Structure 1
Amino acid sequence: MTLDEHHRPRRVDLPNGTETSRRPPVEHAAWIFYAIAALGSTIGQIWVGVQIPPWPDTLHWWWRAVFVAPFAIVIDLGGAVTAAFADWRQRLGEAAYGWRALSAATVTVGVTTNIVGHADVAYLAVVFGGLGVFAYAIWLMHSAARRRDALRATGKLADTAPVYGLTQWWREPAVTRRARSLALTQQLPLHQSLAHARQQLRDEKRRTALATHVETLIRSRHDDPVRADIAATTLDLDAVAADLTAHADVTGWARVIGADLRPPPVPLPGVGGDVDADPERESVTVAGPMPPADVLRRVPQDQASYDRWRQLWADLKADPDLELAAFAHRHGISLRQVQWIRRTGASGLLDSPLTLIDRIAQLAAINGHAPHHPSSTS
């Protein structure tokens, strides 16, 4: 492969299916910058070659420049040529240490010549030395970019990951590292890769903690430490933890924990006095949300109907997953009546064997008031 073939423009398929030239406008600009910087470095070396060596006084300066120019050009061009050979061999999978070291040494000679030769004028030393470094840096970055494009076009280079930003890396370094890996392996976008990474890390943390407890439990079942070690190392603790997680009764635990989080019973609004004055008397308490007034008016006042409501509420609690419509059909009542029973029972007003009106009458008697039965109202 010749250098011309090595740098010949090629076409690369983009992820969206379109094709583009290997040399976009910005790449042409890079060539222009490199040519100008390399020319400046060469001029600096020729300048040094004209002034520093002990030339005969009779030799005109432009003859000196003619003699020095080939060497200066070879130094700058040699750095680029050897770098091109190194890039070519790297595309083939080689390290190309020899070509890269030779390229760096050649450029170092050119830059040192400009800096030392113009040491008496700091401006010239910085300008001509900086041009050499600038030209070589542009060439290395340009060739490295072309090499990555060529490798990516042939499927030998991984796709680039999304840019997560410094803030994201600072806030969640572990999550961002996992998200970057997921984005590359599963072709996930930025936000979706972060969500998957957070979920994976949470699952792994939970599974690790559960596996530790499972190992402790397994070891506790064996008095012999050798058998305990065998049992703990034979089982796939991660698989056991994953299976336990899959079969965990999440709904049941949520129901139990939710019951423990209910607020303490409060006295029924509108009934005053010390309800604990007589422990043999029934108190009216509310264990859950107070039903609205229209529901309270429908709580049965006769004992038989009230006992019927209590029985229906017990059946509802025994089968909480049953559809209310199916429950109403089974017991021959309306769906609205089932809803009334559920709201009243959830408040705790159906927990006592005494009807609500009887309990209110007892509380009124404790407070020194005559009971006021709804049936006596006009």
Structure 2
Amino acid sequence: MGPMTATRNDHMLGRAAEHAAWAFYTVAALGSSIGQIWVGVETPPWPDGMPLWLRAILALPFAVVIDLGGVVCSGFADTRQRLGENAYGWRILSAGSVTLAVGINIVGHAGSPYLATVFGGLGVFAYTVWLLHSSARRRDALRAAGKLATTPPSYGLLQWWREPAITRRAKNLALEYDYTLHESLAEARIQLRTEARRAALASHIEARIRSRHDTDPILAAIAATTTPVDDVADALMAMIDTRGWARAIANEIQPPDSGQPIAEQAAASEPADRVAAAGHHAQQPALNASLLRYIPTQQADYDRWREIWQAMLHAPDASNQDIANQFDVSTRTAQRIRLTGQANLLNSPATPVARIAALASSNGHLPLLPATS
């Protein structure tokens, strides 16, 4: 079923519902009028000899006028509202006429609760159907004339219950920018998160501005008031190096490897103060136990790490991803090489395993290994 067929079916269903509304209103209004005529036949002080059919004929115009008056006044109100007026006078007269009709049915049939409920309820039902029907037709006419906002998406009760603030913002965005349901919700979440960050940052910026004038509260208030704090917060958020923060945090949260060779585990357990010192050579830096576990044990792999570390020294601005792409290694490996190199653990041409073996053979002292790179 194509869009044209769906539109045609919707139009046919709308016309059928409109015809049904007129039928319901007519039946309900007729029932209300019958109830008023019934009251008019029994309640007024008619002469004893006057037949019932004559009483009904005489009461008929009054009953019809009361019900019809509510409809006529409501019709005038609907017309004036389409022109942009409030039409309070016509709406008050319409409500008053229907209230009178319902009151006659309830009071006139007070002796029979069933009849009072039926005829009074029919009057209320007839007037309610008329108001809803006329209101729907008025909105359709205003929408066709471009004087009414488009209908927002239906978000559902569950969405309103879970995220009322986001759904309210999404509804306004959908009306203003013609967003779909999911587009409006996504944009509303982004806007609210940005506003929350801006508000939090603006409070810190204002406090920082005031702190520059601690000795003069008046000057501090002037500085904080005249400075567009929200604009400063927006500019600051635009200047934040998000990738830099991500790299820094990623370096801190890398988990340790498991299953390392026993030699590396022994190196990791060595005290940091056990270093080599002899002759005219400078004292070697302490081995970082948390980083030694990453260094390869094979000489070829270790030389490869030293080669990559030299490339990092010649290109200090290159990111770990750039180095990884250049040498065909993983980003995590490039990150480990950078950390171990910065800790001066890649300066010696000998692998840590070789140095540990030399340490064991020299009674706890590291051999004199050249520290050249």
**Class of the TM-score when normalised by the shorter of the 2 chains:** 0.7 to 0.9
Q: 1:19 to 1:367 in 2, by over 3 A?
A: same
1:244 aligns with 2:203: no
User: Shift of the alpha carbon at 1:321?
Assistant: 6.4
Deviations 1:238-287 (CA, angstroms, capped at 9, x unpaired): 11111111111112222222222234688952225552297226658463
Q: Distance in 2 between matches of 1:311 and 1:132?
A: 93
- Match for 1:269: what amino acid? P
1:259 aligns with 2:259: no
Structure-2 residue corresponding to 1:298: 300
1:68 aligns with 2:68: no
- The one of 111, 115, 135 equivalent to 1:120 is 111
- Match for 1:319: what amino acid? A
1:353 aligns with 2:347: yes
Structure-2 residue corresponding to 1:141: 132
Structure-2 residue corresponding to 1:371: none
- Match for 1:315: what amino acid? H
User: Shift of the alpha carbon at 1:235?
Assistant: 1.8
Contact 1:218 1:228 in 2 (8 A): yes
Equivalent residue runs for 1:81-100 within 5 Å: 81-100=72-91
Q: 1:353 to 1:185 in 2, by over 3 A?
A: same
- Match for 2:246: what amino acid? A
Contact 2:202 2:233 in 1 (8 A): yes
Equivalent residue runs for 1:276-355 within 5 Å: 276=271, 279-280=274-275, 283=287, 285=289, 287=291, 290=294, 296=298, 298-299=300-301, 310-315=309-314, 318-320=317-319, 323-324=322-323, 335-336=327-328, 342=334, 345-346=337-338, 348=340, 351-354=345-348, 355=350
User: Shift of the alpha carbon at 1:57?
Assistant: 2.0
Contact 1:164 1:190 in 2 (8 A): yes
Q: Distance in 2 between matches of 1:217 and 1:203?
A: 21
1:198 aligns with 2:198: no
- Higher deviation after alignment, 251-260 or 352-361: 352-361
Q: 1:275 to 1:49 in 2, by over 3 A?
A: same
User: Shift of the alpha carbon at 1:100?
Assistant: 1.0
Structure-1 residue corresponding to 2:3: none
- Match for 2:97: what amino acid? T
- The one of 50, 55, 71 equivalent to 2:41 is 50
2:69 partner SS: helix
Q: Distance in 2 between matches of 1:94 and 1:341?
A: 74
Q: 1:289 to 1:153 in 2, by over 3 A?
A: farther
Q: 1:336 to 1:63 in 2, by over 3 A?
A: closer
Q: Distance in 1 between matches of 2:318 and 2:272?
A: 37
Sequence identity of aligned pairs in percent?
50
Q: Distance in 2 between matches of 1:288 and 1:32?
A: 88
1:36 partner SS: helix
Q: Distance in 1 between matches of 2:332 and 2:156?
A: 56
Deviations 1:68-106 (CA, angstroms, capped at 9, x unpaired): 111111111111111111111111122211111111111
1:299 partner SS: helix
Contact 1:275 1:363 in 2 (8 A): no
Q: Distance in 2 between matches of 1:259 and 1:98?
A: 74
1:90 partner SS: helix
- Match for 1:351: what amino acid? L
User: Shift of the alpha carbon at 1:20?
Assistant: 5.5
Q: Distance in 2 between matches of 1:120 and 1:47?
A: 13
Structure-2 residue corresponding to 1:275: 270
- Higher deviation after alignment, 316-325 or 143-152: 316-325
Structure-1 residue corresponding to 2:222: 230
Deviations 1:195-243 (CA, angstroms, capped at 9, x unpaired): 1001000001101111111111112222322222222222211111111
- Higher deviation after alignment, 267-276 or 249-258: 267-276
- Match for 2:150: what amino acid? D
Structure 2 spans left out of the alignment, 5+ residues: 1-6, 277-285, 365-373
Contact 1:75 1:109 in 2 (8 A): yes
- The one of 160, 177, 182 equivalent to 2:173 is 182
Looking at secondary structure, tell me which structure has more helix per residue: 2
Structure-1 residue corresponding to 2:150: 159
User: Shift of the alpha carbon at 1:291?
Assistant: 7.5
- Match for 2:274: what amino acid? P
Contact 1:268 1:286 in 2 (8 A): no
Q: Distance in 2 between matches of 1:197 and 1:340?
A: 36
Q: Distance in 1 between matches of 2:90 and 2:31?
A: 24
Q: 1:133 to 1:29 in 2, by over 3 A?
A: same
1:287 partner SS: helix
Contact 1:289 1:347 in 2 (8 A): no
- Match for 1:224: what amino acid? D
Contact 1:283 1:359 in 2 (8 A): no
Contact 1:41 1:128 in 2 (8 A): yes
- Higher deviation after alignment, 103-112 or 256-265: 256-265
